[in-house]
Amino acid sequence: MTEKVVDIGFLEEKEAWLLHPRFFPSKVGGKPAWLELKNTPAPSELTCKQCNEVMIFLCQVYAPYEERDDAFHRTIFIFVCKNGGCCRPNSSNNFKVFRSQLPRKNDFYSFEPYEENKNEKFAMDKWPKLCNVCGVKAPSHCSKCKKEFYCSRKHQIIHWQKGHKELCSNSNEMNDCNFIVTEAAKSFLFKEWELIVDEEDQEEVKNVDTNQEMEKLRQLIQEKKAGTMSDLNESELEEYTGKMPEDKVFNKFSKRIARHPDQVLRYDRGGVPLWITAQSDNIDIPNCPYCNEPRQFEFQIMPQLLNFINIGIEINSIDWGVLAIYTCKSSCNESPAYKEEILIKQDLSN
């Protein structure tokens, strides 16, 4: 039996302006490059179920349904709570996923693709203001200068402390930083990358000693753990890694990712996730609440992504094994413009 072709995603550095919404990017970190610009989720729709703070942008995947005009442009957005303490084993309470789609002819973008011209202006004045710090819809603004906008009091304070205090009274220009990470937010948001998606190699990696590959993966996870649980001593770490599952699922997982050890995404719409460990229960994916059709698996985010985004901004950090995203099978076009979808977080057994 031949294997179904799966697309996989890698990260590459890219100049920030090339990740603007008009280029319909897939990307990780920075601010969200929203697709529909008028009805982006309100901060209240992006709060963490554990701590109630506004989540920050993790990544987005541009995944149109080529055959459908109403999904000519289509992007899935993932948000996560920045507070590592909200991360619980096999719980997705600290995540949110949204799907947005547009026909080719729409109110926001030209019918023909944009040229890569850095100086081209893209007017945002028609659309609601976005938070200076995180890029989420901003209902409030700086009451002194009225030129800076915020999703929440917390982000206003961050901006004030990181420099707006000095600049507020003499800022006479409107900031054009809707999608560009501001200096104030650099240490607050995840590092920004372009997400390149390409076909997975069909070949099994030859002459790979599975044990060796598993050892590598174990090390990767150990490093990750060492970076995040900095207070663990060596013997505790050993104990932790000693508990790594040697099960068939994990074996299959590590063998498959050995073809491309740097992959951060596996895209297989209508397929099945590559789980990291045996699923304890059968997962029950609720139907799409907007059209009542079933949802299907669309893609998964791999644990490798943690190595690229966790740039020392948190001690008590975020973690996952696999993040599997399920979306409406018919990719329905009901309102709202941003439809919530389902994320299943699977962790290595603990």
Q: Which residues bind Zn ion (CB under 5 A)?
A: 48, 50-51, 81, 83, 86, 131, 133-134, 136, 142, 144-145, 151, 155, 168, 288, 290-291, 328, 332
Would you say 50 and 80 are in contact if contact means Cβ atoms under 8 Å apart?
no
Nearest distance from C-beta of residue 200 to Zn ion, angstroms = 28
Q: What are 250's two structure tokens? A: 């994990």
By C-beta, is 134 or 322 nearer to Zn ion? 134
Using CB atoms within 10 Å of the CB of residue 158, give its burial: 0 to 12 exposed, 13 to 18 middle, 19+ buried: buried
Query: Among positive and negative, which fits the CA dihedral 336, 154, 315, 189?
Result: positive
Using CB atoms within 10 Å of the CB of residue 129, give its burial: 0 to 12 exposed, 13 to 18 middle, 19+ buried: middle
By C-beta, is 20 or 82 nearer to Zn ion? 82
By C-beta, is 213 or 314 nearer to Zn ion? 314
By C-beta, is 53 or 213 nearer to Zn ion? 53
Residue that is written with structure tokens 């644990």 in the block: 303
Alpha-helix runs per DSSP H in 120-232: 153-159, 165-167, 210-228
Nearest distance from C-beta of residue 331 to Zn ion, angstroms = 7
By C-beta, is 6 or 325 nearer to Zn ion? 325
Give the residue among 259, 249, 251 at the shortest CA–CA distance from 218. 251
By C-beta, is 48 or 264 nearer to Zn ion? 48
Distance separating alpha carbons of residues 43 and 139, to the nearest angstrom: 8
Strand partners, 324: 300, 344
Nearest distance from C-beta of residue 23 to Zn ion, angstroms = 23
Nearest distance from C-beta of residue 7 to Zn ion, angstroms = 23
Nearest distance from C-beta of residue 39 to Zn ion, angstroms = 17
Distance separating alpha carbons of residues 265 and 133, to the nearest angstrom: 26
Strands 7-12 and 193-199: antiparallel
Give the residue among 141, 127, 134, 348 at the shortest CA–CA distance from 253. 348
Q: What is the dihedral of CA 215, 221, 226, 229, to 10 degrees?
A: -140
By C-beta, is 99 or 260 nearer to Zn ion? 99
Distance separating the N- and C-terminal Cα atoms of the chain = 35
Nearest distance from C-beta of residue 71 to Zn ion, angstroms = 11
By C-beta, is 237 or 332 nearer to Zn ion? 332
Would you say 133 and 69 are in contact if contact means Cβ atoms under 8 Å apart?
no
Nearest distance from C-beta of residue 213 to Zn ion, angstroms = 35
Cβ atoms within 10 A of the Cβ of 114, count? Answer: 14
Would you say 35 and 20 are in contact if contact means Cβ atoms under 8 Å apart?
no
By C-beta, is 155 or 266 nearer to Zn ion? 155
Nearest distance from C-beta of residue 218 to Zn ion, angstroms = 29
Nearest distance from C-beta of residue 241 to Zn ion, angstroms = 28
